[in-house]
Structure 1
């Protein structure tokens, strides 16, 4: 497989170099669209091949493809002769077009490919260093940053962890994520002003009056999110298993659990969903009428992106409810992929255990626009600490993942964005 990938890589690079030579000589006779299409296709194929090669732990040996290059020369002799004949023709591309295409080819042959390959090497080195397969000096030589026993998570892997968190943590999925370089809080301004209207043109002595403004200012406050994973030394010693993959997967799960609990239910987070969502007290006694009242309490401007977020207890209670015409209130939605695929009163339904807040028997529902949940991630702060001595007496190794971020539900005084209803509280 590796031999095939190396051979394919050599073929793609050779064709890109041929195109580059033709463009530099002004011998390319095809139109701009035709050349651009071929360059895009070759670049995409080359990126895919390099990603596949980067999955191998060992460094790509470029010399290993030398045995196959002879066959490639034979296959491309006819193409080269045709290129020489076309070189005598006049190019229909302008100098600016040729220069632009040449830059794209140069980028494909150098920087983009090298950056992607280096990212994969650093990622693999990070995972292998965590489980003790390589030393700290070897890890640093491959681009892993270590300091004081802590290992900075490579950017590519940090994005993978955050992407996994987005799949499991619904507030990350539907909220607004802001990435910052510093730890200073990200300001969110909420206001609603009353505009003025005049029937006649304003006179010189008739200035615009001040409007009544309700103005709130929120600052997200990035704090530490950390989680701990324990792995037995026996597992780390089992070379036939992909232990580093297992460790990274467990770190992902531990991080998501800790972060989601902070966003949904933490008493230390003033903007946590359970604290900031407006508690709804229905006046109706029928459960169907309660849902209707809750839906119609949300401001009209929020209904466009509104959805339900409920726990399993609420799902169980709702599944048996029928409307007045005998149809189930909770209806399947064939347009939703994955998840439970339900709609309640015409709005999508998501089910997550994080809504439980430690009380799984309470039938809790949230309804509103969850895009008003803001998340701040501080770039370059995710790191892992390897704890060996602390758990040595139980033959375990600890891995602590640490990150700076914050997440809060933010809405203006006139437009509450999320309501909370507890059916059996």
Structure 2
């Protein structure tokens, strides 16, 4: 966390004091906090810290496109079909309001929903100093939010947070006729168009890493190469293309080897430009108050979808 100036520390302390109930809504407003229907707009420097952490850990934010939109507005993402008329469908909308234009571009709408995550802290920790409490609250909130956001964007299979545009749901399923592992991986790599291949990379789970780590090409070169780095950790290449390893990548089974390959800049994330809100929950499902716990519910207007033309899929998924 970067060094805070005096004003930022005061706002941080006021934020912590309000969300744990040590000061009233009126006092919080007088100290510069924005309160709306019991939800506190998270101060800019704290929101930046939370989103900064999420951006660092969620590779779809790193490689995709993030757009900031004020309020609950739909953001159209254009795909490059030509001479083809496709009606625009959006599960969240009752009508198809966007028409295909004369040059054949089609549009898919991002429709932000009120996305939330719950963090829980034992009450005994709230007796610390205001600055320590704010640090603790921010730490648990950003980790809880990351876990939910990254699962929503990668998998999107949770009944309470379904995402038809997630990588798992939207990436084009690749099935190989080959049976030999090296041939399967090479065929998948060669499936996208040349334009997509030029911007492509792999995203894999640990099982997939094990699948490729002992594979050898006919010329004696390994399929998987490890790149030396001074940043810590390992960097990988699979058939010359960079590969990111992530535990959040899931398949139909817990042991499946899952490979994504393609251009991840086609994953588009829309979020509210006005920032994040938080609400303190003393009584909810689970009855936190009886367990000497306090819940912090963080809200964000968010959507994240993989968007591509059916004529040129940008990301492929394979499970072995």
Tell me, yes or no, if the aligned pair for 1:282 and 1:290 is still in contact at 8 Å.
Answer: yes
The Cα shift of 1:53 comes to 6.4
- Is 1:122 the counterpart of 2:11? The answer is yes
The Cα shift of 1:319 comes to 1.5
Unmatched segments (≥5 aa) in structure 1: 1-50, 57-116, 195-210
**TM-score (norm: length of structure 1):** 0.64
Moved more, 373-382 or 178-187: 373-382
User: 1-side partners of 2:125 and 2:10: how far apart?
Assistant: 24
Match of 1:289 in 2: 183
SS of equivalent residue, structure 1 residue 416: coil
Match of 2:33 in 1: 144
SS of equivalent residue, structure 1 residue 227: strand
Match of 1:303 in 2: 197
Of 75, 85, 90, 1:186 maps to: 75
SS of equivalent residue, structure 1 residue 266: coil
User: 2-side partners of 1:286 and 1:358: how far apart?
Assistant: 22
Match of 1:315 in 2: 209
Tell me, yes or no, if the aligned pair for 1:155 and 1:380 is still in contact at 8 Å.
Answer: no
Which structure shows the higher helix fraction? Answer: 1
User: 2-side partners of 1:278 and 1:336: how far apart?
Assistant: 35
- Is 1:374 the counterpart of 2:268? The answer is yes
Instruction: Decide whether aligned partners of structure 1 residues 316 and 151 sit closer, same or farther in structure 2, where only a CA change above 3 A counts.
Output: same
SS of equivalent residue, structure 1 residue 184: coil
Match of 1:248 in 2: 138
User: 2-side partners of 1:300 and 1:396: how far apart?
Assistant: 54
Match of 1:344 in 2: 238
User: 1-side partners of 2:311 and 2:147: how far apart?
Assistant: 33
User: 1-side partners of 2:199 and 2:259: how far apart?
Assistant: 16
- Is 1:165 the counterpart of 2:59? The answer is no
Which structure shows the higher strand fraction? Answer: 2
Moved more, 224-233 or 403-412: 224-233
SS of equivalent residue, structure 1 residue 164: helix
Of 83, 95, 118, 1:228 maps to: 118
RMSD: 2.4
Tell me, yes or no, if the aligned pair for 1:278 and 1:420 is still in contact at 8 Å.
Answer: yes
The Cα shift of 1:140 comes to 1.6
Map of 1:84-123 to 2, 5 A cutoff? 117=7, 119=8, 121-123=10-12
The Cα shift of 1:239 comes to 4.3
- Kindly indicate whether structure 1 or structure 2 has the higher relative contact order, using CA contacts under 8 Å at least 6 residues apart: 2
SS of equivalent residue, structure 2 residue 152: helix
Tell me, yes or no, if the aligned pair for 2:47 and 2:275 is still in contact at 8 Å.
Answer: no
Of 387, 395, 398, 2:281 maps to: 387
Match of 2:95 in 1: none
Tell me, yes or no, if the aligned pair for 1:278 and 1:418 is still in contact at 8 Å.
Answer: yes
Of 270, 279, 282, 2:173 maps to: 279
Aligned residues: 295
The Cα shift of 1:145 comes to 1.1
Instruction: Decide whether aligned partners of structure 1 residues 338 and 275 sit closer, same or farther in structure 2, where only a CA change above 3 A counts.
Output: farther
The Cα shift of 1:124 comes to 3.8
Tell me, yes or no, if the aligned pair for 2:44 and 2:275 is still in contact at 8 Å.
Answer: no
Match of 1:216 in 2: 106
- Is 1:401 the counterpart of 2:298? The answer is yes
The Cα shift of 1:416 comes to 0.7
The Cα shift of 1:287 comes to 0.8
The Cα shift of 1:290 comes to 1.0
User: 2-side partners of 1:337 and 1:214: how far apart?
Assistant: 45
User: 2-side partners of 1:401 and 1:241: how far apart?
Assistant: 19
The Cα shift of 1:357 comes to 5.0
SS of equivalent residue, structure 1 residue 323: coil
Tell me, yes or no, if the aligned pair for 1:340 and 1:351 is still in contact at 8 Å.
Answer: no
**TM-score (norm: length of structure 2):** 0.84
